[in-house]
Amino acid sequence: MKNKTSTETRTEKDSLGEIKVPADRYWGAQTQRSLQHFPIALDRFRWQRPVIRALGLIKKVSAQSNNALGLLSDDSTEAIVSVAKDIIAGNLDEHFPLGVFQTGSGTHSNMNINEVIANRANKLLKLKNDQSLIHPNDHVNLGQSSNDVFPSVMHIAVLEQLQNQLLPAIKQLQATFTKKKKDYVDVVKTGRTHLQDAAPLTLGQEISAWVAQLDFVLQVFNDHKQYLYPLAIGATAVGTGLNTHPKFAKKVIVNLRELTNMPFTQADNKFSALATHDPLVEMSGALRTCAATLLKIVNDIRWLASGPNAGIGELMLPENEPGSSIMPGKVNPTQCEAMSMVCVQVFGNDATVAFAGSQGNFQLNVYKPIILHNVLESITLLSHALVSFDSYCAQGLTPNHSIIAEHLNRNLMLATALVNHIGYDKATEVSKLAHKKSCTVKEACLQLGYANADQYEQWVDVDLLVGKKI
């Protein structure tokens, strides 16, 4: 996005009077006042492409719908739709300077696009020698209110980012782990519970848990998407549909479904659609679940890769970059660490969304922009982190077979297989002796005389222990 504007200005006016606006920008008086009064961390919190695109989608289908209802002329509709298409395509992003911290209804951003479309459309019409003028409120915002436009934008933007960014990234990591699950199905290793040695399993079985976790996350998102398809459009100011045609919302939904290929519907209760944002609070919770899943997975990986000589060391990480400025040869689990920080940020974003979602008063929640920002930020962070983690960590993970075998051979919990043959107490005695003398379970069992070598091999069948014969 271009941040520099021309030093030349033009005069625009609204109900408060005249104001100077950069001559090379299409926004008008209300956008300029917002820009002046809310210059809050715009470098970080300026609206990005998903929100601008969603605004363009709403304005395009709204103009088409009003035209179909006989409320907007063909020439005006053509001009508005033309500009909206440019906005959707990302050709006019520099004309959207506003950020998150503005009026809580998103009115400033709604007026921003109304003004951009009107000014650009009027320029196009003048080029065609048409003397009619398009008004940002009377024409571009016809049948709409910021109170129903912005909630609709919130749902559209989140759904598109979810569908286009996050879900593909999750599926890619799942595919990577699914392959490794199959590749390492026969690699028997030590299990761990309470951070202590436990009964054995295969590395493929261990990885299968990660695959199942990601499958659950995908199901959670698919379940939660349905709550975002109902849109507030048509509710106007307080949910009653004041100043909008009774068929407007239905036509908008039909046009939007065709444009986005998403099954949008009208909100069953438009009062709720303005006053609450429970569907987005719910989606934020799904993002938190995703973060919790990923944090568990990356923590498993960095524990299993710890060492390489003084830790567990059963997995080997790709060597992407030097790990220390002072300790030569060190390789750190950097992708795991980056992912874990992303997950922590998502937890924080979810807390913000939960509080903001609780703050609807009477007919309007006025925390809309911060809810949208945090949900979108979580989607973006998780999407980018997933792609990075998959490319630079997951795909390159390999087992350290010698360490795995060594740990398995020393695993005291192999004594668990003896319980059905010699009883729990004697099996405990075997385990404790093995630990005390730093010998294997087999050596301890034979020393105590609870089994001979053939019996031990028959009873402590590793394949049976990991469920291969069950």
CATH number at residue 440: 1.10.40.30
CATH of the domain at 136: 1.10.275.10
Report if residue 3 sits inside a domain: no
Check pLDDT > 70 for residue 469: no
| 3-class secondary structure, 461 | coil
Q: Is 254 part of any domain? A: no
15, 194, 325, 438: the active-site residue: 194
What is the residue range of 88's domain?
9-142
Residue 361 is assigned to a structural domain of this protein = yes
> Quick one: pLDDT at residue 470?
39
Q: Which pairing describes strands 315-316 and 398-399: parallel, antiparallel, or unpaired?
A: antiparallel
pLDDT digits over 433-461, tens only? Answer: 999 999 999 999 999 999 999 999 999 99
Query: Mean pLDDT score of the chain, rounded to an integer?
Result: 95
pLDDT of residue 406: 96
How large is the average pLDDT for residues 196-211? 97
d(CA 351, CA 346): 9
**Within a domain: residue 158?**
yes
State whether 29 and 83 are in the same domain.
Answer: yes
Report residue 92: phi and psi, to 5°.
Answer: -130, 25
Last residue in a domain, options 90, 108, 142: 142
CA distance 349 to 84: 31
Question: Alpha-carbon distance 307 to 398, whole Å?
Answer: 15
- Phi, psi for 331 (deg, rounded to 5): -125, 125
Residue 397 — left, alpha, or beta (φ > 0 → left; ψ -120 to 50 → alpha)? beta
Residues 397, 427: one domain? no
The tens digit of pLDDT for each residue in 364-417 reads 999 999 999 999 999 999 999 999 999 999 999 999 999 999 999 999 999 999
Distance between CA atoms of residues 208 and 177, nearest Å: 8
The stretch 109-133 carries a mean pLDDT of 91
Confidence of residue 129 (pLDDT cuts 50, 70, 90): confident
CA angle 349, 354, 356 (to 5 degrees): 95
Question: Does 188 fall in a domain?
Answer: yes
Of 88, 109, 142, which residue sits at a domain end?
142
Looking at the structure, tell me whether residues 396 and 443 fall in a common domain. Answer: no
Amino acid at 338: A
As given in the structure block, the two tokens for residue 360 are: 């609807």
Find the catalytic residue in 132, 324, 358, 402: 324
pLDDT > 90 fraction of the chain, expressed in percent and rounded:
92
| Calpha distance 470→459 (Å, rounded) | 14
In the annotation, is 95 catalytic?
no
Residues 244-258: what's their mean pLDDT?
A: 98
A 10 A CB-CB count for 52 gives 25
Same domain membership, residue 324 and residue 227: yes
Predicted confidence band at 219 (pLDDT cuts at 50, 70, 90)? Answer: very high
10: nearest Cα among 18, 2, 1, 21: 21
Radius of gyration (Cα) for the chain, nearest Å?
A: 30
Same domain, 110 and 203: no
**Residue 13 C-beta-side C-alpha neighbours within 13 Å:** 3
DSSP 306: -
Q: Please give the pLDDT value at position 6.
A: 65
- Residue 398: its H or E element: strand 398-399
Q: What is the pLDDT of residues 403-417, one digit of tens each?
A: 999 999 999 999 999
Kindly state whether residues 138 and 162 are assigned to the same domain. Answer: no
Structure tokens that stand for 28 in this block: 């008008």
**Single-letter code of the amino acid located at 170:** I
Predicted TM-score (pTM) of this structure:
0.95
Tell me, what CATH number does 382's domain have? Answer: 1.20.200.10
Q: Is 73 a known active-site residue? A: no
Residue 91 pLDDT grade (very low, low, confident, very high; cuts 50, 70, 90): very high
Q: Specify whether 137 is located in the same domain as 185.
A: no
The verdict on whether omega for the bond into residue 322 sits within 30 degrees of 0, i.e. cis, is: no
Q: Count CB-CB contacts under 10 A for residue 231.
A: 26
In tens, the pLDDT along 146-177 reads 999 999 999 999 999 999 999 999 999 999 99
Q: Does one domain contain both 152 and 138?
A: no
Question: Within this chain, do residues 305 and 441 fall inside the same structural domain, yes or no?
Answer: no
Name the CA dihedral angle for 263, 269, 273, 275, rounded to a multiple of 10 degrees: -170
Q: Is 312 part of a structural domain of the chain?
A: yes
Are residues 208 and 179 both part of a single domain?
yes
Q: Is the dihedral of CA 246, 248, 249, 250 positive or negative?
A: positive
Number of structural domains found in the chain: 3
> 90 vs 27, 53, 60, 214, 419, CA distance in Å?
16, 7, 14, 33, 68
- Residue 84 binned pLDDT confidence (cut-offs 50, 70, 90): very high
Secondary structure tally for the chain: helices H, strands E = 19, 10
Distant-in-sequence, close-in-space partners of 404: CB < 8 Å, separation ≥ 6: 187, 188, 189, 190, 203, 314
The Cα-based distances of 68 to 65, 73, 84 in angstroms read 5, 9, 17
Residue 192 lies in a domain: yes
> Which residue carries 């945090």 as its tokens?
374
In a domain, 245, yes or no: no
Does one domain contain both 331 and 392?
yes
Residue 170: partners with Cβ closer than 8 Å, 6 or more residues away? 214, 217, 218, 221, 290, 386
CA–CA gap between residue 66 and residue 251 (Å, rounded): 9
| β 315-316/196-202 pair status | unpaired
Q: Which residue has the tokens 């394949």?
A: 463
Distance CA 328, CA 322 (A): 8
Give φ, ψ of 315 to 5 degrees. Answer: -115, 145
Domain-terminating residue out of 125, 142, 159? 142
Asked if 373 and 444 sit in the same domain, the reply is: no
Query: What is the distance between the alpha carbons of residues 177 and 207, in angstroms, rounded to a whole number?
Result: 7
